[in-house]
Structure 1
Amino acid sequence: MPVLTLKAIVHRRQECIAIYFANDKALQAAIRKLPAVKWSQANTCWYVPLSEGNYEAIVQTAVNKATVDNTHLKAYLQKRKGIAATLTPSQLPSVPAKIVLPLSPAYRLCTENIQALEQLIQQLQLKAYSASTMRTYRNEFLQLLQLLQTKPVNNLTAADIKRYMVYAMEKEGISENTAHSRLNALKFYFEQVLGREKFFWDIPRPKKPQLLPKLLNEEEIRQLFNALANKKHKAMLFTVYSAGLRVSEIAALKIADIDSKRMQLFISRAKGKKDRYVNLSPVLLDILRNYFTTYKPAPVRYLFESEQTGQAYPTRTIQQIFTNAKNKAGIKKEVGIHSLRHSFATHLLDKGTDIKYIKELLGHFDIKTTERYLHVSKKQLVNIVSPFDDLWKQEAIDW
């Protein structure tokens, strides 16, 4: 029986499980079916993000096909646990449980830089930034601190930051979006924590790529929904698409947020801490009522609760539900659950809904964010005839 060796690697700044095995067509076919699995040319192996769920999926796949050797992976996790233990409560203030320190590579921070990290976190907490933003700023700031090691970050000049950003983009190969996040974190520290006004005045920002929203067409959405067998999972994705919700919003949606009299869903403290109402589809309301009466145990507080914990579904679990359904439906597009929100907005545009109303439904602060969907809507494009077609119909060209 072949051996499946699992190792921990850091690929594209993310901790991953690398999967190594001798050439075996049956085993390779099984590994390729793993959710979120990708091939790394640099490491010459298949890999998945490092998580307990992905590890269990690998072990399950290997049953009766291969022997799993997780020695290297266990050693890495033990070392990671030891590194985390070095950051004691006295060194680092308590933060929301969702925010975790990146644990690779090992920390070698001087006292001054540990204090700088503490001050950054404290200021973020005082300003009540979201957990997601706090995690991003902390992690991006740590990239610089890890590089500095014993050199105090407070001694850096604007010219030093310029050189560092060139290094990060050329040597580390960070993307334009990551560069913006890193600059935002550094700008927050030097200007909001240290009070150095206009410290970043002369530091240019890379131009972001103008990416269009990735969406599914109506036939693909039909295939996606029909690939789901679990009614709770069906109701979950139905709600995301029907109301154009973010994954964090569907996870946090409570039973009390459903107003069947006004046919509305209340979305509380969404992105930007912004409340909003969205339309409740009559069809979706009937589906949710059916879900309530047939699914046991019935939810108590959250619309979709975990049977094990009785709490809201983790966003990662909901994302995995979407990925599993996409793979089962045979959809090849590189899309995540957010594509249902993009599809909701684009399909409304296709059906003639005013973009101002779509902006309110999506909870966008700026109409320019919503206007991205104008570039992917087919409403106007279907009426445009290519000049090539006119020439062909006039028999002006040969084939």
Structure 2
Amino acid sequence: MPKINLNRQGEAELEKTHQKMVLKGFSKNTVDNYKSSLKPFFKYFENQSLKSVTKEQIEGYVFELISKYKISESAQNTIINAIKCYYEHALGLPREYYNITRPKKSQDLPNVLHSKEVKEIINSPSNLKHKTILHTIYGAGLRVGELIRLRVVDVRSEEGYIFIKDSKGKKDRHTVLSKHLLELLREYYKIYKPAYWLFEGQTGGQYSSTSIQSIYRKAVKDTNGNPWSTPHTLRHSFATHLMERGTSLRHIQAALGHNSSKTTEIYTRVLAINNKTIKSPLDTMYESVSLDENKTTS
């Protein structure tokens, strides 16, 4: 999509929406995504009163974006949610259901790595901080945003858990603290001595998400790992490996911070299915036939 330059009215509406979202405690990512989605919307209807825009016009606008720019299903939903946010929060109009056609949610399976591949990737960095970062993401099933917001005090070694503050949906939660990870964190702490954030940048402050992406990409390249995987793949692998070992769905849901068990249930669809976990009825059929033949012969 082309770069958008808004007129004064559009800029004013964008700033009004920004203020409302901040006051309501929207996450920084949500604020940034909604603002990016609203800029072309304000530009498109800049010669019309935004209050007078109909739902049919909004649907036509979204259809044009899909047709012209091939926007993804995720982007389509974000645009609709951003527009809904503008009308309800910035303009203060009554909350209502916007009967705008939304794309059917994709049923893609999350990308998951084998335990051996995970071990090679997270042990690849020679830098202790980098190695500890990758171990923490996998060992606790964290999102990258959660990792960079970890404070030193969030590692509750006595109680045996990691405290996650303000995770997705502004919720606090606990997740598992691996004994192996705890040993690694203690070694890391002795050398780097972080003051407030568990993982600090070179000049202090939070570690950046782009740096974590770079660490992970290098580790994947050095180990000839799956080139399509990302740091978030470690979180998917954490959940799937727990499920393979028989951990209850409820405990996995709590560790990941999912609101609904339906979100966690997707990992049941990525469990390894092979001749060691499931016996094909074809084998059972031929085994029974062999037994019958033996009986007849004897």
- Identify, as 1 or 2, the structure richer in strand: 1
**Which residue does the alignment assign to 2:173?**
276
- What pairs with 1:149-160 in structure 2 (closer than 5 Å)? 149-160=46-57
Q: Amino acid of the residue matched to residue 247 of structure 2?
A: T
Aligned equivalents of 2:53 and 2:244: distance in 1? 52
Written as runs of structure 1 = structure 2, the 5 A alignment for 1:197-216 is: 197=94, 201-216=98-113
TM-score scaled to structure 1, two decimals?
Answer: 0.67
Once residues 186 and 39 of structure 2 are traced to their aligned partners in structure 1, the CA distance between those partners, rounded to angstroms, is 47
Identify the residue that residue 302 of structure 1 maps to in structure 2.
Answer: 197
**Cα-to-partner distance string for 1:170-194 (whole Å, 9 max, x where unaligned):** 1111111111110000111123333
Alignment check: 8 A CA contact 1:228 1:234 kept: yes
Q: How many Å apart are 1:376 and its aligned residue?
A: 0.8
Q: How does 1:138-153 map to 2 (within 5 A)?
A: 138-153=35-50
Measured after TM superposition, the shift of residue 346 of structure 1 is 0.5
Q: Distance in 2 between matches of 1:227 and 1:285?
A: 19
8 Å CA contact retained: 2:132, 2:184: yes
Q: Does structure 1 conserve the Cα–Cα contact (< 8 Å) formed by 2:4 and 2:39? A: no
Report which structure shows greater RCO (CA 8 Å, sep ≥6).
Answer: 2
Q: Residues 274-324 of structure 1, C-alpha deviation per residue, up to 9 Å, x if partnerless?
A: 11122211111111112223x3x42222221123x1222111111211111
Equivalent of 1:327 in 221, 233, 241: 221
Structure 2 residue runs of 5 or longer lacking an equivalent are: 291-298
What amino acid is the match of 1:260?
A: S
Which ranges in structure 1 are unaligned for 5 or more consecutive residues? Answer: 1-12, 14-103
Aligned residue type for 1:384: I
Question: Distance in 2 between the 1:202 and 1:254 partners?
Answer: 42
Q: Which amino acid aligns with 1:177?
A: S
- The aligned counterpart of 2:14 is 117
| C-alpha distance in 2 between matches for 1:201 and 1:144 | 16
Q: Percent identity?
A: 35
**Alpha carbons of structure 1 residues 386 and 143: separation in structure 2 relative to 1, 3 Å:** farther
CA deviation map 1:340-360 (0-9, x unaligned): 111111000000000101111
Name the structure 1 match of 2:151. Answer: 254
State the alpha-carbon separation in 2 of the partners of residues 316 and 384 from structure 1.
41
CA shift, 1:110, in A, is: 3.1
Q: Distance in 2 between matches of 1:185 and 1:261?
A: 43
Which residue in the other structure is 2:243 paired with? 349
**C-alpha distance in 1 between matches for 2:93 and 2:151:** 43
Change in 2 beyond 3 A, CA 1:273/1:223 = same
Give the conservation status (yes or no) of the 8 Å contact 1:212–1:372: yes
Q: How does 1:1-399 map to 2 (within 5 A)?
A: 105-107=3-5, 109-197=6-94, 201-293=98-190, 295=191, 297-307=192-202, 309-378=203-272, 382-389=276-283
Structure-2-length-normalised TM-score = 0.89
1:349–1:379 CA contact under 8 A, matched in 2: no
Give the residue type in structure 2 aligned to 1:287: L
Q: Secondary structure at the match of 1:269?
A: strand
Distance 1:380 1:357 in 2: 25
* SS, match of residue 166 in structure 2: coil
Residues 184/381 of structure 1: CA separation in 2 closer, same or farther (3 Å cut) = farther
Root mean square deviation, CA, Å: 2.3
